[in-house]
Structure 1
C-alpha cells in the first residue's frame, strides 16, 4: 500500500474523528447522553429531566442519531432512545475521568 493511500485514509479517519468530537462538544448533547447512560428514555422524559422543550430535545437527538451515538426503538406511540453502544459511554466516562484528575502535582 502506498504512503499516499495511507495518508489519505488517515486524513479521512481524522476528519471523521473531528466531526465526532464536534458533536460531543455540545453541552446539551452531553446532558442527553448522560441521561441515556442511566437508562433509555423517550423525548418527553428527557424534556422533563433536562428542562428543555421537546423540540429542542428532538433536534439534538437527530444529530446524535445521525452520528450513530444513540439508537431508538418504538413502543406503541413512544420512541425510546439509548446510547448506541458501550463505546460512547466509555468515551464520555474516560473524558470525565481525565478532566477530574488532579494535575496540580504534575510538572
Structure 2
C-alpha cells in the first residue's frame, strides 16, 4: 500500500511539473474555463494549452464537460487550490531565506 501511495504521489507531482500546467491550474482555481478562454488568458497557442490539458486530464487533475462544441474544464479536486497556495508559501519562505542570507553577506 505504501508503495502504491508513493507511486501516486510521484505521478501526481510529475503531472504538475510544467509551468504551463501550473498556470492552467491557477486559472481554473478562479473558475471553470474552456480552451479558448485559457488560451486567451495565457497568451499561448491553443495546441499547447490542449496538450497540457490532456496531461492534466489523463492524470485525473482536471476534467472536461462537453457543452455543444466546447469543452469546459474544471479542477477535479478543490484541494488543488490549497496545494498551489502552499507551494506559493514555500516559495515565499525560500525567497525570504535567500534575501536574509544576502543581507547577512552584504553586512560583512
TM-score bracket for the superposition, by shorter chain length? 0.7 to 0.9
Equivalent of residue 78 in structure 1, options 57, 67, 70: 70
Segment drifting more, 26-35 vs 70-79:
70-79
TM-score normalised to the size of structure 2? Answer: 0.82
- Where relative contact order (Cα < 8 A, 6+ residues apart) is larger, the structure is 2
- Residue of structure 2 in register with 1:97 after alignment: 89
TM-score normalised to the size of structure 1? Answer: 0.82
RMSD: 1.6
Equivalent of residue 28 in structure 1, options 17, 20, 27: 20
**Unaligned segments of structure 1, at least 5 residues:** 1-8
**Unaligned segments of structure 2, at least 5 residues:** 101-108
SS of 2:97's equivalent in the other structure is coil
Q: Please list, as runs of the form range in 1=range in 2, the aligned pairs for 1:1-107 lying within 5 A after superposition.
A: 9-101=1-93, 102-103=96-97
Higher relative helix content: 2
The CA deviation at 1:103 is: 3.3
SS of 1:98's equivalent in the other structure is helix
- Counting matched residue pairs gives 98
SS of 1:94's equivalent in the other structure is helix
Task: Point out 4+ residue stretches in structure 1 off by more than 4 angstroms.
Answer: none
